[in-house]
Amino acid sequence: MTDPWAQTAPLTPQRPRGFSPGTVAILATATVLLAVAGLAIGWFVAGDGEPNAQLSASPSVAASVDASPSPSEAPSPTPTVEPSTASPAPDGPRMPNVAGQEFQAVRRQLIADFKVTVNVVFDQEGEAGHITKTEPAADAPVRAGTSVKIYVAGPIIDVDVPTLVGTSCEEAKKALVGAGLRVGPYPAEKTGTVTAATAEAGTKLKWNTEVSLTCETAPPPSPAAG
């Protein structure tokens, strides 16, 4: 008698659990493609339209960003201004350099141009009649109405007395000063016509000798008798 349990039906092989290697490879490939497609869609949505343009900037763009500004675009350095050491010149004329010149012409020029009184000091060393120095010195400021000195080489000189009588008192005064003489006291008036002087025209006097003038104003004519 045969044992019924001794015969068994052939065993059916069991399917292994999980995905097969081929399936896993297919799924992995699909995942990568979906990721790339999603990245591309994101770039297109962002408005670029060219995915490769986002991956690397063009050389021209990079150069324009990193390049240093050209010399024309760079700000110019502020120049350093050194303060001037020269003091500003005061207003008004300055004493000319007249050393070595003939003193009478210089004296007349100073009186006329600078409106000053000129005092002459003689007996200096050098060529007679020529200026050795001045006070104030050359290039110093000179103010109108002041006195200046000119130092002259040689002894004091004689000058001719100009014509005085018959001229106006003001004209006689200018003539005396121009000749190198000094106006003394006025015995009478300081205006009118010179009627007398303490020195006659053409006589010689030492430089800076005093001469007095007598000036009178002519009386008005008397009315004619009717």
- Nearest of 88, 99, 86, 87 to residue 125 by alpha carbon: 99
In a domain, 115, yes or no: yes
pLDDT at 226: 53
Residue 128 above 70 pLDDT?
yes
Residue 209 sits in a domain of what CATH number? 3.30.10.20
**11 or 222, which is more confident?**
222
Q: What is the pLDDT of residue 35?
A: 55
Average pLDDT, the chain: 75
- Other Cβ atoms less than 10 A from the Cβ of 107: the count is 21
Q: Domain limits at 115?
A: 103-156
Task: Tell me the pLDDT band of 92, cut-offs 50, 70 and 90.
Answer: confident
pLDDT tier at 9 (50, 70, 90 boundaries)?
very low
Last residue of some domain: 113, 139, 156? 156
Q: How far is it, in rounded angstroms, from Cα 169 to Cα 146?
A: 23
Q: Are 140 and 167 within one domain? A: no
What is the dihedral sign for C-alpha 202, 205, 206, 208?
negative
Q: Do 141 and 189 belong to one domain?
A: no
The beta strand positions in the chain, using DSSP E, are 117-124, 131-135, 147-153, 158-160, 182-183, 193-197, 204-206, 210-211, 213-216
How confident is residue 189, by pLDDT bands cut at 50, 70 and 90?
Answer: confident
Q: Is the pLDDT of residue 111 over 80?
A: yes
Q: Which two tokens stand for residue 44?
A: 């297109």
For residue 109, pLDDT over 60 is answered with yes
Instruction: Give dist(CA 190, CA 208) in Å, integer.
Output: 20
Residues 135-164: pLDDT tens digits? 999 999 999 999 999 999 999 999 999 999
Q: Are residues 107 and 130 in the same domain?
A: yes
pLDDT computed for residue 225 by the predictor? 56
Number of domains present in the structure of the chain: 2
pLDDT in tens, 33-52: 555 555 444 444 444 444 44
As a whole number of angstroms, the distance between CA 213 and CA 200 comes to: 11
Separation CA 50–CA 191 (nearest Å): 111
